[in-house]
Amino acid sequence: MRANLNVVLAYLIMLSLIVIVGIFQSWSFALSILNLCLISAVMTMGVNIQWGYAGLFNVGIMGFTALGGLAAVLVSVPPVREAWQVGGLSMIASLAIIIAIVLAVRFILKQYPKSNKRTFSITAVIVVGLIIARLVFGPAVESIEAISPATTGFLGGLGLPIIFSWFVGALFAAGVAYVIGKITLGLRSDYLAIATLGISEIIIAILKHEDWLARGVKNVIGLKRPVPYEVNLQETDWFINLVEKFHSRSLDLINDPSEKQEAIKQLVIEGSSVFVKLCYAGLFAIVVIILLILCQKALYSPWGRMMRAIRDNEEAANAMGKNVVKQHLNIFILGSAVVGIAGAMLVTYDGLFTPGSFQPLRFTFLIWVMVIVGGSGNNFGAILGGCVVWFVWIEAAPAALYLINLFTSAGEINPFKAHLIESIPYFRYLIMGMGLLLIMRYRPKGIIPEKIKHV
């Protein structure tokens, strides 16, 4: 217990910070911070699997998050029947062509020895295949996007409950990670970084511009929720009773019945948003706990020990007969899948999918700051890092405003102050950068360092 004291203490401090926000700002706001902390925690666990367990430098977290988000759309939105009628067959055909290209290339690679002739034939297969695919694909896209573009204009999804997308998101991310890993793992470690940076930009570009898939920058809004809607809650009796019971003491002080009705109504509206966010928090907490248990089990299993051995001394592990590249590929896929879950959770929570909002600073590099600050190699550290950094990220802007007002004379408006206030959003980049640099320098193992149990 004493060994874990600092961990418990760190989490208690984090929790009390959120409670303080609840008391001083509002509970609804505090809960939305908590929810995003939990989502960030899932992302940091994914990155921690890659970096902390295996030392893989993945700078494409944004792409895997977005894939998770795409899964949320494709699973939950009802299918658009007209679009399937006009373009569905051609879309399936072009998908089949692409699969055929991949299979053909694999066949050629397996069947013939390396030669110029092989390279040329592979190129020919890819080029010809892509041209055919484009001829089928182009008209289909046009006809799909023409179907009431203001509301649909895409193929739609499966119309299943959105919760399923958390698994599908993991699958999507894992699939892409497999392809990327196959190509770049085994080359120099920096190449993985550049390759992931590239693939994430491409994923975002595809999501932004392929309207038939998920409406592109026109966004998909109003995704179905896994939890009740505020409007419905405000009309259900048990919820109103619950709110009355919860606030009975303060309500008793009001004598006038009409005033009391008014107060209850107000409380019910506030309560409904808090209740919805609590439901989300519960769902997210379940995911975090399940993943945490799995991660801990994996980390302290023979497999986890092998991964750490590979991370700390690749050559020695190789000499002991461990297939480093294969294990790296496994762990890269696993970590990316967890990030994909987080992406699906994020879109579920927002209720909308906006490809334009995916920015590398927020969705890739901020996650890195979280992992490094929290403590790479330690799941509790990574989760804490996710919470702390998200909290700072949100509260940095109000804090910066407060400081600027403190140091410049109040009330006075001069150009310098106006400029500072205008650039408040960028102070948080400064804080994040400084935080990362200071931690890397003075506490390179993070707030909660990695602990290796020797058995």
Partner 1 sequence: MTDLINALVLLSNFVLIPAITYGSQLALGALGITIIYGILRFANFAYGDLMAFATTFTILFTWYFQSIGISFGVLPTALLAIPFAIIVTIIFCLITDKLVFGYYRIKKSPSVTIAMVSLGVMFVTNAIVRIIIGPYDRRFADGERFIIRANEFKEMTGLNEGLAIKSTQVLTIVITIIVVSLLFWFLNKTKTGKSMRAYSDNEDLALLSGISPARVVMITWIIVAILATFAGSLYGLDKSFKPFTYFSLLLPIFASAIVGGIGNPVGALVGGYVIAFSEIIITYAYKKFFAYLLPESLEPNTLVQFLSTDYKFAVSFSILVIVLLVRPTGILKGKTL
Chain residues in the site for partner 1 (CB under 8 A): 55, 57, 59, 119, 138, 183-184, 187, 189-191, 193-195, 197-199, 201-202, 205-206, 208-209, 360-361, 365, 368-369, 372, 420, 422-423, 426-430, 432-434, 436-437, 440-441, 444
In the complex, the smallest distance separating the C-beta of residue 202 from partner 1, rounded to whole angstroms, is: 5
Angle of the 415-422 helix axis to the 379-407 helix axis, nearest 10? 160
Q: What does the alpha-carbon distance between residue 5 and residue 22 come to, in Å, rounded to a whole number?
A: 25
Q: Give the burial class of 170: count Cβ atoms within 10 A of its Cβ; 0-12 exposed, 13-18 middle, 19 or more buried.
A: buried
In the complex, the smallest distance separating the C-beta of residue 48 from partner 1, rounded to whole angstroms, is: 14
Place of tokens 């995704």: 223
Q: Which of 441, 427, 447, 433 is nearest to 369 (CA)?
A: 433
Q: What does the alpha-carbon distance between residue 363 and residue 343 come to, in Å, rounded to a whole number?
A: 10
Residue type, 11: Y
> For residue 331, how far is the Cα from the chain centroid?
18
In the complex, the smallest distance separating the C-beta of residue 244 from partner 1, rounded to whole angstroms, is: 48
In the complex, the smallest distance separating the C-beta of residue 440 from partner 1, rounded to whole angstroms, is: 5
Question: Residue 189 or residue 414: which is nearer to partner 1 going by CB?
Answer: 189
Question: Residue 201 or residue 230: which is nearer to partner 1 going by CB?
Answer: 201
Question: Residue 8 or residue 434: which is nearer to partner 1 going by CB?
Answer: 434
In the complex, the smallest distance separating the C-beta of residue 58 from partner 1, rounded to whole angstroms, is: 11
Radius of gyration of the chain (CA): 25
Q: Which of 395, 394, 421 is nearest to 407 (CA)?
A: 421
Question: Residue 78 or residue 425: which is nearer to partner 1 going by CB?
Answer: 425
Question: Residue 271 or residue 446: which is nearer to partner 1 going by CB?
Answer: 446
Question: Residue 242 or residue 397: which is nearer to partner 1 going by CB?
Answer: 397
CB 332 within 8 A of CB 185: yes
Q: Which phi-psi region, left, alpha or beta, contains residue 410 (left: φ > 0; alpha: ψ -120 to 50)?
A: beta
Q: What does the alpha-carbon distance between residue 335 and residue 42 come to, in Å, rounded to a whole number?
A: 10
In the complex, the smallest distance separating the C-beta of residue 191 from partner 1, rounded to whole angstroms, is: 6
> For residue 277, how far is the Cα from the chain centroid?
18
**Number of other residues whose CB lies within 10 A of the CB of residue 25:** 13
Question: Residue 320 or residue 430: which is nearer to partner 1 going by CB?
Answer: 430
In the complex, the smallest distance separating the C-beta of residue 398 from partner 1, rounded to whole angstroms, is: 17
Q: Which of 374, 393, 379, 335 is nearest to 65 (CA)?
A: 335
Q: Which of 389, 431, 422, 388 is nearest to 404 (CA)?
A: 422
CB 162 within 8 A of CB 226: yes
Q: Which of 56, 41, 58, 50 is nearest to 374 (CA)?
A: 41
Question: Residue 398 or residue 433: which is nearer to partner 1 going by CB?
Answer: 433
Question: Residue 30 or residue 366: which is nearer to partner 1 going by CB?
Answer: 366
In the complex, the smallest distance separating the C-beta of residue 159 from partner 1, rounded to whole angstroms, is: 29
Question: Residue 198 or residue 228: which is nearer to partner 1 going by CB?
Answer: 198
Q: What does the alpha-carbon distance between residue 169 and residue 193 come to, in Å, rounded to a whole number?
A: 22
CB 181 within 8 A of CB 335: no
Question: Residue 118 or residue 224: which is nearer to partner 1 going by CB?
Answer: 118
Q: Give the burial class of 355: count Cβ atoms within 10 A of its Cβ; 0-12 exposed, 13-18 middle, 19 or more buried.
A: buried
In the complex, the smallest distance separating the C-beta of residue 378 from partner 1, rounded to whole angstroms, is: 17
In the complex, the smallest distance separating the C-beta of residue 20 from partner 1, rounded to whole angstroms, is: 26
Q: Which two tokens stand for residue 366?
A: 């901020």
CB 276 within 8 A of CB 227: yes
In the complex, the smallest distance separating the C-beta of residue 188 from partner 1, rounded to whole angstroms, is: 8
